[in-house]
Protein backbone atom coordinates (compact mmCIF):
# COMPACT_ATOMS: atom_id res chain seq x y z
CA UNK A 1 0.00 0.00 0.00
CA UNK A 2 1.15 3.57 -0.76
CA UNK A 3 0.76 5.76 2.30
CA UNK A 4 -0.10 9.47 2.27
CA UNK A 5 3.29 10.13 3.85
CA UNK A 6 4.99 8.38 0.91
CA UNK A 7 3.03 10.48 -1.56
CA UNK A 8 3.99 13.67 0.22
CA UNK A 9 7.63 12.62 0.39
CA UNK A 10 7.97 11.49 -3.24
CA UNK A 11 6.24 13.98 -5.52
CA UNK A 12 6.79 11.70 -8.53
CA UNK A 13 4.24 9.23 -7.21
CA UNK A 14 1.71 12.04 -6.82
CA UNK A 15 2.51 13.22 -10.37
CA UNK A 16 1.97 9.69 -11.66
CA UNK A 17 -1.36 9.28 -9.87
CA UNK A 18 -2.63 12.65 -11.11
CA UNK A 19 -2.02 11.61 -14.72
CA UNK A 20 -3.12 7.99 -14.36
CA UNK A 21 -6.85 8.72 -14.99
CA UNK A 22 -5.91 10.04 -18.44
CA UNK A 23 -4.26 6.72 -19.24
CA UNK A 24 -7.31 4.84 -18.02
CA UNK A 25 -10.07 6.83 -19.71
CA UNK A 26 -8.74 8.69 -22.76
CA UNK A 27 -9.69 6.82 -25.97
CA UNK A 28 -7.26 6.32 -28.84
CA UNK A 29 -7.13 9.54 -30.83
CA UNK A 30 -7.25 9.48 -34.63
CA UNK A 31 -5.27 9.47 -36.82
CA UNK A 32 -1.88 8.62 -35.34
CA UNK A 33 -2.77 6.69 -32.17
CA UNK A 34 -5.39 4.57 -33.94
CA UNK A 35 -2.90 3.83 -36.73
CA UNK A 36 -0.19 2.66 -34.32
CA UNK A 37 -2.63 0.44 -32.47
CA UNK A 38 -3.68 -1.06 -35.80
CA UNK A 39 -0.07 -1.84 -36.70
CA UNK A 40 0.41 -3.51 -33.32
CA UNK A 41 -2.86 -5.41 -33.85
CA UNK A 42 -1.67 -6.76 -37.22
CA UNK A 43 1.59 -7.81 -35.58
CA UNK A 44 -0.39 -9.75 -32.98
CA UNK A 45 -2.84 -11.12 -35.52
CA UNK A 46 -0.31 -12.50 -37.97
CA UNK A 47 2.59 -13.16 -35.60
CA UNK A 48 5.04 -11.27 -37.83
CA UNK A 49 7.29 -9.39 -35.42
CA UNK A 50 9.88 -8.36 -38.01
CA UNK A 51 8.09 -6.72 -40.93
CA UNK A 52 5.47 -4.18 -39.90
CA UNK A 53 2.15 -4.04 -41.72
CA UNK A 54 -0.70 -1.57 -41.97
CA UNK A 55 -3.87 -2.76 -43.70
CA UNK A 56 -1.95 -5.74 -45.01
CA UNK A 57 0.78 -3.67 -46.71
CA UNK A 58 4.39 -3.30 -45.47
CA UNK A 59 4.82 -0.25 -43.24
CA UNK A 60 8.28 1.33 -43.13
CA UNK A 61 7.60 4.74 -41.60
CA UNK A 62 8.89 3.78 -38.14
CA UNK A 63 10.83 1.13 -36.28
CA UNK A 64 9.24 -1.85 -34.51
CA UNK A 65 10.06 -1.24 -30.85
CA UNK A 66 6.88 0.61 -29.86
CA UNK A 67 4.79 -2.12 -31.47
CA UNK A 68 6.81 -4.86 -29.76
CA UNK A 69 6.20 -3.18 -26.41
CA UNK A 70 2.48 -2.76 -27.11
CA UNK A 71 2.19 -6.47 -27.82
CA UNK A 72 4.20 -7.25 -24.70
CA UNK A 73 1.70 -5.21 -22.65
CA UNK A 74 -1.19 -7.01 -24.35
CA UNK A 75 0.10 -10.47 -23.39
CA UNK A 76 -1.29 -10.42 -19.82
CA UNK A 77 -4.05 -7.82 -20.29
CA UNK A 78 -5.35 -8.41 -23.81
CA UNK A 79 -5.66 -5.80 -26.59
CA UNK A 80 -6.76 -2.55 -24.92
CA UNK A 81 -5.92 1.13 -25.07
CA UNK A 82 -5.54 1.76 -21.34
CA UNK A 83 -2.67 -0.66 -20.77
CA UNK A 84 -0.72 0.91 -23.64
CA UNK A 85 -1.24 4.40 -22.22
CA UNK A 86 -0.22 3.17 -18.77
CA UNK A 87 2.97 1.78 -20.28
CA UNK A 88 3.79 5.09 -21.95
CA UNK A 89 3.15 6.86 -18.64
CA UNK A 90 5.61 4.47 -16.98
CA UNK A 91 8.18 5.51 -19.62
CA UNK A 92 7.53 9.15 -18.72
CA UNK A 93 8.26 8.33 -15.07
CA UNK A 94 11.43 6.51 -16.13
CA UNK A 95 12.55 9.68 -17.95
CA UNK A 96 12.16 11.68 -14.73
CA UNK A 97 14.31 9.17 -12.84
CA UNK A 98 16.94 9.10 -15.60
CA UNK A 99 17.11 12.90 -15.74
CA UNK A 100 17.50 13.20 -11.97
CA UNK A 101 20.34 10.67 -11.97
CA UNK A 102 22.00 12.27 -15.04
CA UNK A 103 22.24 15.73 -13.47
CA UNK A 104 23.51 14.29 -10.18
CA UNK A 105 26.28 12.44 -12.01
CA UNK A 106 27.23 15.51 -14.05
CA UNK A 107 27.65 17.43 -10.80
CA UNK A 108 29.64 14.63 -9.06
CA UNK A 109 26.85 14.00 -6.54
CA UNK A 110 27.60 17.19 -4.59
CA UNK A 111 24.77 18.72 -2.51
CA UNK A 112 24.49 21.47 -5.12
CA UNK A 113 24.17 18.88 -7.89
CA UNK A 114 21.50 16.98 -5.96
CA UNK A 115 19.51 20.20 -5.49
CA UNK A 116 19.96 21.11 -9.17
CA UNK A 117 18.80 17.64 -10.23
CA UNK A 118 15.69 17.90 -8.08
CA UNK A 119 14.79 21.31 -9.51
CA UNK A 120 15.46 20.19 -13.08
CA UNK A 121 13.29 17.10 -12.72
CA UNK A 122 10.45 19.10 -11.18
CA UNK A 123 10.65 21.69 -13.95
CA UNK A 124 10.68 19.00 -16.66
CA UNK A 125 7.71 17.18 -15.12
CA UNK A 126 5.87 20.48 -14.71
CA UNK A 127 6.11 21.54 -18.35
CA UNK A 128 2.54 21.52 -19.60
CA UNK A 129 3.52 19.81 -22.85
CA UNK A 130 5.26 16.97 -21.02
CA UNK A 131 2.23 16.43 -18.80
CA UNK A 132 -0.15 16.48 -21.76
CA UNK A 133 2.03 14.08 -23.74
CA UNK A 134 2.93 11.76 -20.85
CA UNK A 135 0.63 8.91 -21.94
CA UNK A 136 0.31 9.61 -25.67
CA UNK A 137 0.61 6.51 -27.86
CA UNK A 138 3.41 8.03 -29.89
CA UNK A 139 7.14 7.51 -30.24
CA UNK A 140 8.59 10.60 -28.58
CA UNK A 141 8.08 9.75 -24.89
CA UNK A 142 9.80 6.41 -25.47
CA UNK A 143 12.50 8.14 -27.51
CA UNK A 144 13.18 10.65 -24.71
CA UNK A 145 13.84 7.79 -22.26
CA UNK A 146 16.32 6.18 -24.66
CA UNK A 147 18.05 9.52 -25.31
CA UNK A 148 18.55 9.92 -21.56
CA UNK A 149 19.87 6.37 -21.34
CA UNK A 150 22.36 7.07 -24.14
CA UNK A 151 23.46 10.27 -22.40
CA UNK A 152 24.27 8.26 -19.29
CA UNK A 153 26.70 6.41 -21.54
CA UNK A 154 28.25 9.75 -22.53
CA UNK A 155 28.66 10.63 -18.83
CA UNK A 156 30.38 7.27 -18.33
CA UNK A 157 32.87 8.26 -21.03
CA UNK A 158 33.45 11.53 -19.18
CA UNK A 159 34.27 9.47 -16.09
CA UNK A 160 36.66 7.31 -18.13
CA UNK A 161 34.42 4.26 -17.74
CA UNK A 162 35.01 3.46 -21.37
CA UNK A 163 33.53 0.00 -21.68
CA UNK A 164 30.28 0.77 -19.89
CA UNK A 165 30.00 4.12 -21.66
CA UNK A 166 30.28 2.53 -25.10
CA UNK A 167 27.75 -0.15 -24.13
CA UNK A 168 25.17 2.29 -22.70
CA UNK A 169 25.59 4.66 -25.64
CA UNK A 170 25.12 1.80 -28.10
CA UNK A 171 22.06 0.41 -26.30
CA UNK A 172 20.38 3.80 -25.83
CA UNK A 173 20.98 4.86 -29.43
CA UNK A 174 20.10 1.41 -30.75
CA UNK A 175 16.77 1.37 -28.95
CA UNK A 176 16.16 4.92 -30.20
CA UNK A 177 16.87 3.82 -33.77
CA UNK A 178 14.40 0.96 -33.35
CA UNK A 179 11.86 3.45 -32.03
CA UNK A 180 12.00 6.42 -34.39
CA UNK A 181 15.01 6.04 -36.61
CA UNK A 182 18.08 8.27 -37.08
CA UNK A 183 16.54 11.30 -35.35
CA UNK A 184 17.95 9.88 -32.10
CA UNK A 185 21.43 10.75 -33.39
CA UNK A 186 20.48 14.43 -33.43
CA UNK A 187 19.02 14.17 -29.95
CA UNK A 188 21.96 12.40 -28.28
CA UNK A 189 25.17 12.27 -30.35
CA UNK A 190 25.87 15.98 -30.88
CA UNK A 191 26.50 16.47 -27.15
CA UNK A 192 29.12 13.71 -27.33
CA UNK A 193 30.76 15.29 -30.38
CA UNK A 194 31.08 18.53 -28.39
CA UNK A 195 32.68 16.63 -25.51
CA UNK A 196 35.98 18.60 -25.47
CA UNK A 197 33.99 21.74 -24.63
CA UNK A 198 32.36 20.40 -21.47
CA UNK A 199 34.46 17.34 -20.50
CA UNK A 200 38.03 17.42 -19.17
CA UNK A 201 38.35 13.73 -20.06
CA UNK A 202 37.47 14.45 -23.68
CA UNK A 203 39.97 17.29 -23.82
CA UNK A 204 42.73 15.14 -22.36
CA UNK A 205 42.02 12.02 -24.45
CA UNK A 206 40.42 13.24 -27.66
CA UNK A 207 41.37 10.25 -29.78
CA UNK A 208 40.04 7.74 -27.29
CA UNK A 209 36.93 9.85 -26.69
CA UNK A 210 35.93 10.05 -30.36
CA UNK A 211 36.85 6.42 -30.96
CA UNK A 212 34.53 5.44 -28.10
CA UNK A 213 31.71 7.62 -29.44
CA UNK A 214 32.19 6.06 -32.88
CA UNK A 215 32.08 2.56 -31.38
CA UNK A 216 28.89 3.44 -29.52
CA UNK A 217 27.25 4.75 -32.70
CA UNK A 218 28.40 1.73 -34.72
CA UNK A 219 27.06 -0.57 -32.00
CA UNK A 220 23.68 1.14 -32.17
CA UNK A 221 23.63 0.87 -35.96
CA UNK A 222 24.39 -2.84 -35.66
CA UNK A 223 21.41 -3.25 -33.32
CA UNK A 224 19.08 -1.48 -35.75
CA UNK A 225 20.48 -3.22 -38.83
CA UNK A 226 19.97 -6.63 -37.26
CA UNK A 227 16.23 -5.97 -37.38
CA UNK A 228 16.06 -3.90 -40.58
CA UNK A 229 17.91 -6.35 -42.81
CA UNK A 230 16.07 -9.32 -41.33
CA UNK A 231 12.77 -7.55 -42.06
CA UNK A 232 13.45 -5.94 -45.44
CA UNK A 233 16.61 -7.41 -46.90
CA UNK A 234 19.49 -5.17 -47.97
CA UNK A 235 17.82 -3.54 -51.00
CA UNK A 236 14.45 -3.16 -49.30
CA UNK A 237 16.07 -1.55 -46.27
CA UNK A 238 17.92 0.93 -48.49
CA UNK A 239 14.85 1.89 -50.52
CA UNK A 240 12.18 2.00 -47.80
CA UNK A 241 14.09 3.33 -44.80
CA UNK A 242 17.28 5.09 -45.92
CA UNK A 243 16.05 6.82 -49.07
CA UNK A 244 12.36 7.42 -48.37
CA UNK A 245 12.04 7.84 -44.65
CA UNK A 246 15.40 9.34 -43.69
CA UNK A 247 16.76 11.31 -46.64
CA UNK A 248 13.30 12.18 -47.94
CA UNK A 249 11.96 13.51 -44.64
CA UNK A 250 15.04 15.65 -43.95
CA UNK A 251 15.33 17.10 -47.43
CA UNK A 252 11.63 17.60 -48.13
CA UNK A 253 9.07 16.57 -45.60
CA UNK A 254 6.03 14.76 -46.90
CA UNK A 255 3.91 16.70 -44.40
CA UNK A 256 4.11 19.30 -41.63
CA UNK A 257 6.30 21.65 -43.68
CA UNK A 258 6.78 24.81 -41.66
CA UNK A 259 9.10 27.84 -41.78
CA UNK A 260 12.56 28.00 -40.24
CA UNK A 261 11.47 30.13 -37.27
CA UNK A 262 8.44 28.00 -36.31
CA UNK A 263 10.02 26.28 -33.28
CA UNK A 264 11.00 29.65 -31.80
CA UNK A 265 7.33 30.60 -31.84
CA UNK A 266 5.95 27.49 -30.13
CA UNK A 267 8.74 26.67 -27.63
CA UNK A 268 7.59 29.22 -24.97
CA UNK A 269 4.13 27.61 -24.96
CA UNK A 270 5.58 24.12 -24.65
CA UNK A 271 7.46 25.00 -21.45
CA UNK A 272 4.53 26.71 -19.72
CA UNK A 273 4.10 27.55 -16.86
CA UNK A 274 7.83 28.24 -16.45
CA UNK A 275 8.03 30.74 -19.33
CA UNK A 276 5.77 33.05 -17.29
CA UNK A 277 6.15 31.78 -13.70
CA UNK A 278 9.94 31.60 -13.29
CA UNK A 279 11.07 35.09 -12.31
CA UNK A 280 14.64 36.25 -11.87
CA UNK A 281 16.49 39.48 -12.53
CA UNK A 282 18.68 39.76 -15.61
CA UNK A 283 21.96 39.13 -13.72
CA UNK A 284 20.74 35.64 -12.77
CA UNK A 285 20.03 34.80 -16.43
CA UNK A 286 23.31 36.37 -17.54
CA UNK A 287 25.37 34.49 -14.98
CA UNK A 288 23.65 31.25 -15.94
CA UNK A 289 24.54 31.86 -19.59
CA UNK A 290 28.15 32.56 -18.61
CA UNK A 291 28.47 29.81 -16.03
CA UNK A 292 31.04 27.14 -16.75
CA UNK A 293 29.40 24.42 -14.66
CA UNK A 294 29.50 21.05 -16.36
CA UNK A 295 25.71 20.38 -16.14
CA UNK A 296 25.01 23.67 -17.90
CA UNK A 297 27.60 23.14 -20.60
CA UNK A 298 26.29 19.61 -21.11
CA UNK A 299 22.72 20.93 -21.40
CA UNK A 300 23.79 23.60 -23.92
CA UNK A 301 25.67 21.04 -26.03
CA UNK A 302 22.62 18.80 -25.86
CA UNK A 303 19.99 21.39 -26.80
CA UNK A 304 21.43 24.16 -28.99
CA UNK A 305 22.94 22.27 -31.97
CA UNK A 306 20.05 19.78 -32.10
CA UNK A 307 17.47 22.58 -31.92
CA UNK A 308 19.18 24.45 -34.76
CA UNK A 309 19.28 21.25 -36.82
CA UNK A 310 15.55 20.66 -36.24
CA UNK A 311 14.85 24.21 -37.42
CA UNK A 312 16.44 23.37 -40.78
CA UNK A 313 14.47 20.13 -41.20
CA UNK A 314 11.42 20.91 -43.33
CA UNK A 315 8.90 18.82 -41.34
CA UNK A 316 8.18 20.27 -37.89
CA UNK A 317 5.91 19.12 -35.08
CA UNK A 318 6.02 20.19 -31.40
CA UNK A 319 6.66 16.67 -30.11
CA UNK A 320 9.85 16.40 -32.16
CA UNK A 321 11.45 18.64 -29.50
CA UNK A 322 10.31 16.52 -26.56
CA UNK A 323 13.65 14.65 -26.09
CA UNK A 324 15.44 18.03 -25.90
CA UNK A 325 13.25 19.57 -23.21
CA UNK A 326 15.19 18.02 -20.26
CA UNK A 327 18.13 20.20 -21.33
CA UNK A 328 15.90 23.29 -21.08
CA UNK A 329 14.85 22.12 -17.62
CA UNK A 330 18.49 21.97 -16.49
CA UNK A 331 19.07 25.55 -17.66
CA UNK A 332 15.93 26.85 -15.93
CA UNK A 333 16.84 24.90 -12.78
CA UNK A 334 20.18 26.69 -12.64
CA UNK A 335 18.45 30.08 -12.96
CA UNK A 336 16.03 29.12 -10.19
CA UNK A 337 18.99 28.37 -7.92
CA UNK A 338 19.92 32.07 -7.89
CA UNK A 339 19.22 34.00 -4.69
CA UNK A 340 16.66 36.36 -6.21
CA UNK A 341 14.86 33.79 -8.39
CA UNK A 342 11.28 32.95 -7.50
CA UNK A 343 8.34 30.93 -8.79
CA UNK A 344 5.56 33.50 -9.24
CA UNK A 345 2.35 31.79 -10.42
CA UNK A 346 0.07 34.84 -10.63
CA UNK A 347 0.46 35.54 -14.35
CA UNK A 348 -0.10 31.88 -15.12
CA UNK A 349 -3.12 31.93 -12.82
CA UNK A 350 -4.59 34.91 -14.69
CA UNK A 351 -4.07 33.07 -17.96
CA UNK A 352 -5.89 30.03 -16.55
CA UNK A 353 -8.84 32.14 -15.39
CA UNK A 354 -9.30 33.59 -18.87
CA UNK A 355 -8.83 30.18 -20.51
CA UNK A 356 -11.15 28.44 -18.05
CA UNK A 357 -13.94 30.98 -18.43
CA UNK A 358 -13.64 30.79 -22.22
CA UNK A 359 -13.65 26.99 -22.09
CA UNK A 360 -16.72 26.95 -19.85
CA UNK A 361 -18.52 29.28 -22.26
CA UNK A 362 -17.78 27.18 -25.35
CA UNK A 363 -20.78 24.80 -24.94
CA UNK A 364 -23.22 27.71 -24.59
CA UNK A 365 -21.94 29.56 -27.65
CA UNK A 366 -21.82 26.34 -29.67
CA UNK A 367 -25.47 25.64 -28.82
CA UNK A 368 -26.48 29.23 -29.71
CA UNK A 369 -24.08 29.87 -32.58
CA UNK A 370 -26.82 31.02 -34.95
CA UNK A 371 -27.88 33.68 -32.43
CA UNK A 372 -24.39 35.23 -32.31
CA UNK A 373 -23.64 37.26 -35.41
CA UNK A 374 -19.91 36.54 -35.78
CA UNK A 375 -20.37 32.83 -35.06
CA UNK A 376 -23.24 32.61 -37.52
CA UNK A 377 -21.01 34.15 -40.19
CA UNK A 378 -18.36 31.50 -39.47
CA UNK A 379 -20.96 28.76 -39.88
CA UNK A 380 -22.26 30.20 -43.16
CA UNK A 381 -18.71 30.57 -44.50
CA UNK A 382 -17.90 26.96 -43.65
CA UNK A 383 -15.25 27.82 -41.05
CA UNK A 384 -17.45 26.13 -38.44
CA UNK A 385 -19.58 23.13 -39.32
CA UNK A 386 -22.77 21.92 -37.70
CA UNK A 387 -20.89 18.76 -36.71
CA UNK A 388 -18.18 20.74 -34.90
CA UNK A 389 -20.83 22.76 -33.08
CA UNK A 390 -22.42 19.53 -31.82
CA UNK A 391 -19.03 18.38 -30.51
CA UNK A 392 -18.36 21.67 -28.70
CA UNK A 393 -21.88 21.83 -27.29
CA UNK A 394 -21.41 18.45 -25.60
CA UNK A 395 -18.43 19.51 -23.47
CA UNK A 396 -19.28 19.99 -19.81
CA UNK A 397 -18.83 23.62 -18.63
CA UNK A 398 -17.58 22.14 -15.34
CA UNK A 399 -14.16 21.47 -16.88
CA UNK A 400 -13.64 25.13 -17.68
CA UNK A 401 -14.92 26.16 -14.26
CA UNK A 402 -12.40 23.87 -12.54
CA UNK A 403 -9.55 25.31 -14.61
CA UNK A 404 -10.66 28.84 -13.72
CA UNK A 405 -10.82 27.92 -10.01
CA UNK A 406 -7.26 26.61 -10.13
CA UNK A 407 -6.25 29.84 -11.82
CA UNK A 408 -7.95 31.86 -9.08
CA UNK A 409 -6.09 29.86 -6.43
CA UNK A 410 -2.76 30.55 -8.14
CA UNK A 411 -3.66 34.23 -8.52
CA UNK A 412 -3.88 34.56 -4.74
CA UNK A 413 -0.35 33.23 -4.25
CA UNK A 414 2.57 35.62 -4.60
CA UNK A 415 5.14 32.83 -4.43
CA UNK A 416 4.83 29.12 -4.95
CA UNK A 417 6.92 26.07 -4.20
CA UNK A 418 8.34 24.34 -7.24
CA UNK A 419 6.72 21.02 -6.35
CA UNK A 420 3.38 22.74 -5.81
CA UNK A 421 3.28 24.28 -9.28
CA UNK A 422 4.54 21.08 -10.93
CA UNK A 423 1.72 19.03 -9.42
CA UNK A 424 -0.77 21.79 -10.23
CA UNK A 425 0.29 21.64 -13.87
CA UNK A 426 -0.08 17.86 -13.90
CA UNK A 427 -3.59 18.24 -12.48
CA UNK A 428 -4.43 20.84 -15.14
CA UNK A 429 -3.17 18.56 -17.89
CA UNK A 430 -5.28 15.72 -16.50
CA UNK A 431 -8.36 17.98 -16.42
CA UNK A 432 -7.79 19.07 -20.00
CA UNK A 433 -7.33 15.53 -21.30
CA UNK A 434 -10.33 14.21 -19.36
CA UNK A 435 -12.40 17.07 -20.80
CA UNK A 436 -11.23 15.91 -24.23
CA UNK A 437 -12.25 12.34 -23.39
CA UNK A 438 -15.70 13.46 -22.21
CA UNK A 439 -16.43 15.97 -24.96
CA UNK A 440 -14.70 14.55 -28.01
CA UNK A 441 -14.47 10.89 -26.99
CA UNK A 442 -17.86 9.86 -28.45
CA UNK A 443 -16.90 11.48 -31.77
CA UNK A 444 -13.55 9.71 -32.12
CA UNK A 445 -14.91 6.32 -31.12
CA UNK A 446 -15.13 4.42 -34.40
CA UNK A 447 -16.09 1.09 -32.85
CA UNK A 448 -19.62 1.13 -34.34
CA UNK A 449 -18.30 1.79 -37.84
CA UNK A 450 -15.52 -0.76 -37.36
CA UNK A 451 -18.06 -3.37 -36.22
CA UNK A 452 -20.12 -2.73 -39.37
CA UNK A 453 -17.02 -3.24 -41.51
CA UNK A 454 -16.12 -6.43 -39.63
CA UNK A 455 -19.68 -7.71 -40.12
CA UNK A 456 -19.51 -7.10 -43.89
CA UNK A 457 -16.15 -8.82 -44.15
CA UNK A 458 -17.31 -11.80 -42.09
CA UNK A 459 -20.38 -12.25 -44.32
CA UNK A 460 -18.28 -12.08 -47.48
CA UNK A 461 -19.86 -8.86 -48.67
CA UNK A 462 -17.39 -6.69 -50.66
CA UNK A 463 -16.52 -3.45 -48.85
CA UNK A 464 -14.04 -0.72 -49.71
CA UNK A 465 -13.02 2.59 -48.20
CA UNK A 466 -13.09 5.63 -50.43
CA UNK A 467 -9.51 7.02 -50.23
CA UNK A 468 -6.83 6.00 -47.77
CA UNK A 469 -8.17 5.31 -44.26
CA UNK A 470 -4.90 5.27 -42.26
CA UNK A 471 -5.83 1.98 -40.62
CA UNK A 472 -8.50 3.78 -38.60
CA UNK A 473 -10.80 0.78 -38.20
CA UNK A 474 -8.46 -2.20 -37.86
CA UNK A 475 -7.84 -2.17 -34.12
CA UNK A 476 -11.28 -0.86 -33.19
CA UNK A 477 -13.01 -3.61 -35.21
CA UNK A 478 -10.34 -6.27 -34.58
CA UNK A 479 -10.39 -6.77 -38.35
CA UNK A 480 -8.78 -9.97 -39.59
CA UNK A 481 -8.40 -8.92 -43.24
CA UNK A 482 -7.40 -5.65 -44.93
CA UNK A 483 -10.00 -3.01 -45.75
CA UNK A 484 -9.74 -2.37 -49.48
CA UNK A 485 -9.07 1.19 -50.64
CA UNK A 486 -10.65 2.60 -53.80
CA UNK A 487 -9.75 5.96 -55.34
CA UNK A 488 -12.52 8.33 -56.33
CA UNK A 489 -11.65 8.05 -60.03
CA UNK A 490 -12.16 4.29 -59.83
CA UNK A 491 -15.30 4.37 -57.67
CA UNK A 492 -17.89 3.64 -60.37
CA UNK A 493 -15.73 0.87 -61.80
CA UNK A 494 -15.51 -0.76 -58.37
CA UNK A 495 -19.26 -0.37 -57.78
CA UNK A 496 -20.01 -1.91 -61.20
CA UNK A 497 -17.86 -4.90 -60.32
CA UNK A 498 -19.44 -5.21 -56.84
CA UNK A 499 -23.06 -3.96 -57.11
CA UNK A 500 -23.99 -5.63 -53.81
CA UNK A 501 -20.97 -4.19 -52.02
CA UNK A 502 -20.55 -1.36 -49.56
CA UNK A 503 -18.49 1.83 -49.81
CA UNK A 504 -17.43 3.60 -46.61
CA UNK A 505 -15.55 6.84 -46.08
CA UNK A 506 -14.88 9.39 -43.34
CA UNK A 507 -14.04 12.07 -45.92
CA UNK A 508 -16.73 14.62 -46.68
CA UNK A 509 -15.08 16.18 -49.73
CA UNK A 510 -16.56 13.74 -52.25
CA UNK A 511 -19.70 14.90 -54.15
CA UNK A 512 -21.69 11.70 -53.65
CA UNK A 513 -25.43 12.41 -53.85
CA UNK A 514 -26.64 8.88 -53.13
CA UNK A 515 -28.40 8.42 -49.80
CA UNK A 516 -26.11 6.64 -47.34
CA UNK A 517 -27.21 3.40 -45.76
CA UNK A 518 -25.63 4.43 -42.44
CA UNK A 519 -24.22 7.72 -41.12
CA UNK A 520 -22.20 7.96 -37.91
CA UNK A 521 -20.65 11.03 -36.29
CA UNK A 522 -16.86 11.24 -36.50
CA UNK A 523 -14.73 14.13 -35.22
CA UNK A 524 -16.08 17.25 -36.94
CA UNK A 525 -17.62 15.29 -39.78
CA UNK A 526 -19.14 11.84 -40.30
CA UNK A 527 -18.53 8.28 -41.43
CA UNK A 528 -20.90 7.20 -44.18
CA UNK A 529 -21.75 3.82 -45.69
CA UNK A 530 -23.30 3.59 -49.18
CA UNK A 531 -24.59 0.64 -51.15
CA UNK A 532 -22.58 0.30 -54.34
CA UNK A 533 -25.77 -0.07 -56.34
CA UNK A 534 -27.09 3.24 -55.01
CA UNK A 535 -23.90 5.02 -56.07
CA UNK A 536 -24.36 3.64 -59.60
CA UNK A 537 -27.85 5.15 -59.87
CA UNK A 538 -26.73 8.71 -59.16
CA UNK A 539 -25.58 11.08 -61.94
CA UNK A 540 -21.85 11.00 -62.73
CA UNK A 541 -20.35 13.14 -59.96
CA UNK A 542 -17.98 16.03 -60.38
CA UNK A 543 -14.45 16.33 -59.09
CA UNK A 544 -13.80 16.16 -55.33
CA UNK A 545 -12.72 19.21 -53.36
CA UNK A 546 -9.22 17.70 -53.00
CA UNK A 547 -7.48 14.88 -54.88
CA UNK A 548 -7.21 11.46 -53.26
CA UNK A 549 -3.46 11.62 -52.78
CA UNK A 550 -3.77 14.57 -50.38
CA UNK A 551 -5.15 12.09 -47.84
CA UNK A 552 -2.07 9.86 -47.99
CA UNK A 553 -0.12 11.84 -45.40
CA UNK A 554 2.59 10.02 -43.43
CA UNK A 555 2.61 9.57 -39.71
CA UNK A 556 4.46 11.61 -37.11
Q: What is the pLDDT of residue 551?
A: 52
> DSSP state, 488?
G
54 strand-pairing partners = 57
The full set of domain ranges for the chain reads: 4-30+61-343, 346-439, 447-551
User: Which of 273, 536, 314, 524 shows the shortest CA–CA distance to 421?
Assistant: 273
Helix axis angle, 294-312 to 183-193, nearest 10°? 140
Q: Are strands 502-505 and 525-531 parallel, antiparallel or unpaired?
A: antiparallel
CB count within 10 Å of CB 153 equals 26
Helix axis angle, 111-126 to 11-25, nearest 10°? 20
Q: What is the pLDDT of residue 479?
A: 94
526 strand-pairing partners = 521
Alpha helices of 317-465 — where are they, by DSSP H? 325-336, 346-367, 373-381, 386-393, 397-411, 418-439, 441-444, 447-459
Alpha helices of 30-80 — where are they, by DSSP H? 32-46, 65-77
Q: Rounded CA gap, 61 and 556, in Å?
A: 9
Q: Rounded CA gap, 556 and 317, in Å?
A: 8
Q: Rounded CA gap, 123 and 391, in Å?
A: 34
- For residue 87, give the 3-state DSSP assignment: helix
- For residue 519, give the 3-state DSSP assignment: strand
Element (H, E) at 278: strand 278-279
Q: What is the pLDDT of residue 293?
A: 83
Helix axis angle, 81-106 to 294-312, nearest 10°? 130
Which regions of the chain are under pLDDT 70? 1-9, 234-256, 289, 291, 540-556
Helix axis angle, 11-25 to 418-439, nearest 10°? 10
Say if residues 130 and 273 touch (Cβ distance below 8 Å). Answer: no
Say if residues 469 and 30 touch (Cβ distance below 8 Å). Answer: no
Q: How many CA atoms lie within 13 A of 23 on its CB side?
A: 19
Over the stretch 157-199, which tens digit does the pLDDT of each residue have?
999 999 999 999 999 999 999 999 889 999 999 999 999 999 9
Q: Rounded CA gap, 335 and 197, in Å?
A: 21
Q: How far is CA 20 from its chain centroid? A: 17
Q: How far is CA 25 from CA 35, 83, 89, 438, 506, in A?
A: 19, 11, 13, 9, 24
Amino acid sequence: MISVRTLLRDWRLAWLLLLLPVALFLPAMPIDETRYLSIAWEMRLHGDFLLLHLNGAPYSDKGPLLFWLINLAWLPFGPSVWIVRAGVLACSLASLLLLDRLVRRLGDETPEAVALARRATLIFAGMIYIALFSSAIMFDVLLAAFVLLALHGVVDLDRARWGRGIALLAVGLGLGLLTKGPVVLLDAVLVALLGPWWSATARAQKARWYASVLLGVLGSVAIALAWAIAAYGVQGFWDAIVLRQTVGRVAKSFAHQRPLWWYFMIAPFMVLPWSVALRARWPAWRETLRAGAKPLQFAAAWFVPAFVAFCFVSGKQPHYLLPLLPAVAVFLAHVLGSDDARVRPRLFGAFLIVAGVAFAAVPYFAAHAHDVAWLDRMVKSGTLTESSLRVFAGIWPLWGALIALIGAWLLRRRDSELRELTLTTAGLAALGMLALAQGVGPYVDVSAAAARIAQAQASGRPIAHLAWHHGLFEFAGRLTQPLEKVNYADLRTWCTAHPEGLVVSFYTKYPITAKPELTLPYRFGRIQFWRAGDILTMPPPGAPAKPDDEDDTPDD
